């Protein structure tokens, strides 16, 4: 594994106090990208507040702050140029040893990053799209050239993928499943692969710039991103028990929380918003403490007969009463870490209420 520090901020420890400055580039790259700015997307330093919890309370950034964040963005780009050179050198070395065409290369990141979106200072500790939607680039034997797929995957899939490449039997406790890498596998997965990714974070959030260095302590949350035929949704519950729901087809910038009065709608993904939220909440309840197969196929935990494998399957009206009675995801209190006592109801403890076949959790595990 190769893990360069760029484009992280320049962090200094001054007598126990951490200070952040813009990333540092190699001297040869310091004059690049002179006119580049953070993309002015609809959610960049918006005129109206967005999101929920502490994000919705942020003030709009002034011109000085925005200009510095543009500088921070340019420094990130500049610092990455040395990483590009390193990657090129790695390819050349593999090629010189006649190993390139027999080597799988995975290029990604552990997280995304926001700079100015939703009025936030540079950082990475939220459920916004800029933080959680991370590209994955793969090169290797039988991997299609120049092909892009929107199949859902996450970091939990990487271990299973490497095992699969190496023909090592997958472990039962893997939370993820192999990412399809060949053309036939990608085509097959289009109709069969799971459509969800769980997103969770425990702890505080803080900016990595020089402005607004407050620590936002109520930043613990759980969310779920679900992408299927005709829908693309993100649902999140903060430890303050504030809820967010975004239709990513219509609102990729996540500016309209559909669960707030000023943005509320009656229908999302072709169904009443109340019915959709009931399904998403039940799915998140399973996901919040899952392991192994339960993480990979959470719908099967709710519907053991296997007839429900997608959100659209679950929207059948015959399941309305079942989902209406489910105990909802909620937090007992906020804490800057994983504390089970703060997590509220758990699927394992309340299994009788989460199954549509009447069995208790201990009856089938």
Selection from 304, 106, 313, 346 nearest residue 226 by Cα: 313
- For residue 1, being part of any structural domain is answered with no
Smallest Cα–Cα separation from 220: which of 349, 54, 9?
54
Residue 337 reports pLDDT greater than 80: yes
For 348, counting Cβ atoms within 10 Å of its Cβ (0-12 exposed, 13-18 middle, 19+ buried), the class is middle
Residues 226-246, mean pLDDT to the nearest whole number:
96
In contact, 42 and 246? CB cutoff 8 Å = no
HSE toward the beta carbon, residue 315, CA cutoff 13 A: 17
- Work out the pLDDT band at 18, boundaries 50, 70, 90: confident
Considering the domain boundaries, does residue 2 fall inside one?
Answer: no
Is 268 among the domain residues? yes
Half-sphere exposure of 176 (CA within 13 A, CB side): 18
Provide the pLDDT for residue 345. Answer: 92
Q: In this predicted structure, what is the pLDDT of residue 364?
A: 39
Specify the DSSP class assigned to residue 156.
Answer: G
CA distance 187 to 149: 10
Instruction: Report pLDDT digits (tens) over 97-129.
Output: 999 999 999 999 999 999 999 999 999 999 999
Residue 191: what pLDDT?
81
Q: Which residues, other chains included, contact 362 with Cβ-Cβ below 8 Å and sequence gap of 6+?
A: 351
Domain-located, residue 146: yes
Q: What pLDDT does 261 receive?
A: 80
Q: Which domain holds residue 266?
A: 10-363
pLDDT over 90 for what percent of the chain?
82
Residue 166: count other Cβ atoms within 10 Å of its Cβ. Answer: 8
Residue 70 belongs to a domain: yes
Task: Note the pLDDT tens digit of each residue in 121-167.
Answer: 999 999 999 999 999 999 999 999 999 998 999 999 999 999 999 99
Q: Give the tens place of pLDDT for each residue, 174-222.
A: 999 999 999 999 999 988 889 999 999 999 998 898 998 889 999 999 9
Distances (CA, A) of 108 to 47, 76, 112, 136, 151: 33, 16, 10, 5, 15
Residue 123 is given by DSSP the state: B
pLDDT of residue 13: 83
Q: How far apart are CA 223 and CA 226, in angstroms?
A: 10
In angstroms, rounded to a whole number, what is the distance separating the alpha carbons of residues 161 and 186?
13
CB burial class (10 A; 0-12, 13-18, 19+) of residue 72?
buried
Compute, in degrees rounded to 10, the torsion defined by CA atoms 333, 335, 338, 341. Answer: -30
Mean pLDDT for all residues in the chain: 92
User: In sequence order, what are the residues at sequence separation of 6 or more whose Cβ sits closer than 8 angstroms to the Cβ of residue 115?
Assistant: 38, 69, 72, 73, 122
pLDDT band per the 50, 70, 90 thresholds, residue 16: confident
* Integer angstrom CA distances of residue 215 from 63, 159, 211, 212, 273: 22, 33, 12, 9, 34
pLDDT exceeds cutoff 80 at 239: yes
CA 318 from chain center: how many Å?
31
The answer as to whether 299 is a domain residue is: yes
Q: Is residue 139 part of a domain?
A: yes
DSSP 316: -
Closest by CA to 345, choosing from 241, 255, 267, is 241
Helix (H) or strand (E) holding 186: helix 183-192
Residue 362 binned pLDDT confidence (cut-offs 50, 70, 90): very low
Contact in structure between 11 and 19 (CB atoms under 8 Å)? yes
Tokens of 70: 């543009």
Residue count (the chain): 365
Could you check whether the bond before residue 7 is cis, i.e. omega within 30 degrees of 0? Answer: yes
pLDDT at 84 over 50: yes
Q: Is residue 278 part of a domain?
A: yes
Band (pLDDT 50/70/90 cuts) for residue 358 is low
Let me know how many helices (H) and strands (E) the chain has, helices first.
10, 12
Instruction: Give the model's pLDDT for residue 356.
Output: 58
CA–CA distance from 333 to each of 94, 217, 363 (Å)? 52, 12, 31
* CA pair distance 43, 10, nearest whole angstrom: 26
Q: Please tell me the predicted confidence (pLDDT) of residue 133.
A: 95
Total domains in the fold of the chain: 1
What percent of the chain stands above pLDDT 70?
Answer: 96
Global confidence as pTM: 0.92
And the tokens for 257? 């929380």
């Amino acid at each position: 594994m190769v893990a360069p520090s760029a484009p992280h901020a320049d962090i200094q420890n001054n007598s126990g106090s951490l200070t952040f400055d813009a990333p540092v580039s190699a001297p040869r790259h310091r004059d690049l990208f002179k006119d580049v700015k953070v993309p002015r997307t609809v959610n960049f330093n918006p005129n109206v507040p967005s999101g929920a919890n502490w994000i919705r309370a942020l003030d709009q950034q002034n011109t000085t702050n925005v200009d510095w964040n543009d500088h921070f963005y340019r420094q990130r780009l500049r610092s990455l140029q040395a990483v590009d050179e390193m990657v090129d050198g790695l390819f050349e070395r593999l090629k010189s040893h006649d190993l390139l065409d027999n080597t799988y290369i995975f290029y990604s990141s552990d997280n995304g990053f926001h700079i100015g979106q939703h009025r936030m200072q540079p950082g990475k500790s939220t459920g916004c799209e800029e933080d959680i939607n991370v590209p994955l680039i793969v090169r290797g034997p039988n991997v299609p050239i120049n092909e892009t797929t929107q199949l859902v995957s996450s970091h939990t899939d990487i271990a299973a993928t490497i095992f699969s490449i190496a023909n090592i039997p997958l472990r039962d406790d893997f939370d993820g499943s192999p990412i399809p890498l060949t053309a036939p596998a990608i085509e097959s997965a289009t109709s069969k692969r799971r459509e969800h990714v769980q997103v969770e974070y425990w702890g505080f959030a803080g900016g990595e710039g020089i402005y607004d260095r407050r620590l936002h302590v109520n930043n613990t949350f759980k969310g779920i991103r679900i992408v299927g035929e005709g829908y693309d949704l993100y649902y999140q519950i903060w430890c303050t028990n504030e809820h967010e729901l975004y239709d990513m087809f219509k609102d990729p910038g996540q500016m309209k929380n559909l669960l707030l009065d000023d943005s509320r709608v009656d229908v999302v993904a072709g169904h009443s918003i109340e019915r959709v939220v009931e399904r998403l909440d039940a799915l998140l309840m399973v996901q919040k403490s899952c392991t192994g197969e339960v993480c990979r196929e959470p719908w099967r935990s709710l519907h053991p007969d296997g007839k429900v494998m997608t959100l659209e399957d679950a929207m059948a009206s015959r399941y309305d009463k079942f989902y209406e009675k489910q105990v909802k995801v909620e937090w007992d209190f906020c804490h800057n870490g994983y504390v089970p006592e703060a997590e509220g109801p758990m699927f394992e403890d309340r299994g009788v209420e989460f199954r549509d076949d009447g069995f208790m959790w201990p009856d089938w595990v």
